[in-house]
Amino acid sequence: MGIILCIFYDKVVSLHEDSETPVSNPLLAFTLIKRLQSDWRNVVHSLEASENIRALKDGYENVEQDLPAFEDLEGAARALMRLQDVYMLNVKGLARGVFQRVTGSAVTDLYNPRRLFSLTADDCFQVGKVAYDMGDYYHAIPWLEESVRLFRSHGKWNTEDEASLEDALDHLAFAYFQAGNVSCALSLSREFLLYSPDNKRMARNVLKYEKLLAESPTQAVVEAVIQRPNVPHLQTRDTYEGLCQTLGSQPTHYQIPSLHCSYETNSSPYLLLQPVRKEVIHLEPYVVLYHDFVSDLEAQKIRGLAEPWLQRSVVASGEKQLPVEYRISKSAWLKDTADPMLVTLDHRIAALTGLDVQPPYAEYLQVVNYGIGGHYEPHFDHATSPSSPLYRMKSGNRVATFMIYLSSVEAGGATAFIYANFSVPVVKNAALFWWNLHRSGEGDSDTLHAACPVLVGDKWVANKWIHEYGQEFRRPCSSSPGD
């Protein structure tokens, strides 16, 4: 193996040596994907590697098809930007490996990593470039700023790097120009010319920026405010993000007497022997958390059964099911026949809720795995249009959701109820239950909810969606719209 690859290999090994779990730190996850997607390729194609190039290339080509694709790197960069937005994380801090929310002069640590993984100038460049290529200068600027700062302070270019200080200056200058900040664009372009004085394009840009500033000198002082790119389908973004930022901890005014804990037996012989600790979290909509609904072993078993079948999650769009940016996770459906333990689980859900969960009155168990940055933006579980694929089961709408947390997370990943204005943290082995429909059969719009992005960790949940039919005598209907 060539010396360059050895150095590169040692660097990768030392970064990952003390992570005993699969990658749970978003910064480490991003750099791992980047190392496999672009750094390694850059080492292989570098001039220094030429003496050992054949062996090096053969080794790379053998595994190339199994390595992350550019699309994966892009996804990982977008996940970092999502975390930055939702948790108001500071890019400078992220590049140093810390997860800090900075609001005014207040700095809050959202997570304290055991070890700091800092990003390189080239890592930051790649994140900024993903945003830049999408015309998203709001995100491109801080990441490219950080890249320029790191290139300037370390100065050294590494074999595996895709970009140099000039590339970072070039992109940042143009991003500032696009965002309306001509004076920053000008000074960065001038700095670029110090390193590459013969670059004609940049010389023309400098002239253009000088001319613009001469024509309208106010441009020099006006700090352009760049708007964060809007997500049209998400009007409730501020509430959602605020609820995610609490990481599921409840404000004290929720500690009201009607919200209490009890041992639930629901008059079921099954539960009399082993009551379940129930915590009423909210009344309208009615949301309860059943603690220790499953054991560690059961949770592990369910994850293991689902793992081989996991696929990118989809959502109902008209009559079709499609992957979308607002739901990022993997999921699998488990039939009861997959393991007798799932039948036991159904019995336990039926005993607790008093509902019939046999097919077709409930769906199979949907197991969901969210990686870093994985999320599900505000949505309803029940169908809101008569053409929804949910009606294909011919057992009505989804009357209730029973969701089991099959893992803990290190940070983030809370379940947020937007209009009801509360969020529930991930409580390993607990199950969250709520009614999606009023007794009239009409959807309860107060159940709008979301899965906050996972900041650090690997989140698993399982959904059991219970349908209207079969529950007629278990949850009688009522014509009163409020019930």
Ligand X SMILES: O=C(O)CCC(=O)C(=O)O
- Give least dist CB 426 to ligand X, A: 7
Closest by CA position to 39, among listed 73, 14, 71: 73
Residue 363 near Fe ion by CB under 5 A: no
- Give least dist CB 412 to ligand X, A: 11
- Of 395, 415, 436, 471, the one binding ligand X (CB under 6 A) is 415
Amino acid at 270: Y
- Give least dist CB 28 to ligand X, A: 23
How far is the C-alpha of 96 from the C-alpha of 79, rounded, in Å?
17
Give whole-number Cα distances, 122 to 35, 129, 171, in Å: 11, 10, 13
Closest by CA position to 172, among listed 210, 211, 212, 131: 131
C-beta of residue 454 within 8 angstroms of C-beta of residue 413: yes
Residue 423 near ligand X by CB under 6 A: no
Residue 381 near ligand X by CB under 6 A: yes
How far is the C-alpha of 303 from the C-alpha of 368, rounded, in Å?
9
Q: Which of residues 379-408 bind Fe ion (CB under 5 A)?
A: 381
Return the number of the residue (150 or 368) whose C-beta is nearest ligand X.
368
C-beta of residue 77 within 8 angstroms of C-beta of residue 30: yes
Residue 463 near ligand X by CB under 6 A: yes
- Give least dist CB 398 to ligand X, A: 10
Return the number of the residue (132 or 434) whose C-beta is nearest ligand X.
434
- Give least dist CB 449 to Fe ion, A: 6
Residue 368 near ligand X by CB under 6 A: yes
Q: What is the DSSP string of 185-239?
A: HHHHHHHHHHH-TT-HHHHHHHHHHHHHHHH-THHHH--PPPPPPP-TT-TTHHH
Residue 345 interface partner, choices ligand X, Fe ion, none, CB cut-off 5-8 Å depending on type: none
Residue 461 near ligand X by CB under 6 A: yes
Return the number of the residue (413 or 470) whose C-beta is nearest ligand X.
413
Return the number of the residue (12 or 314) whose C-beta is nearest ligand X.
314
Say how many C-beta atoms besides its own lie within 10 A of residue 406's C-beta.
25
How far is the C-alpha of 185 from the C-alpha of 169, rounded, in Å?
9
Residue 436 near ligand X by CB under 6 A: no
How far is the C-alpha of 400 from the C-alpha of 459, rounded, in Å?
22
How far is the C-alpha of 166 from the C-alpha of 151, rounded, in Å?
9
- Give least dist CB 94 to ligand X, A: 24
- Give least dist CB 452 to ligand X, A: 7
Residue 377 near Fe ion by CB under 5 A: no
Site residues, ligand X (CB under 6 A): 368, 376, 381, 415, 449, 451, 461, 463
Site residues, Fe ion (CB under 5 A): 381
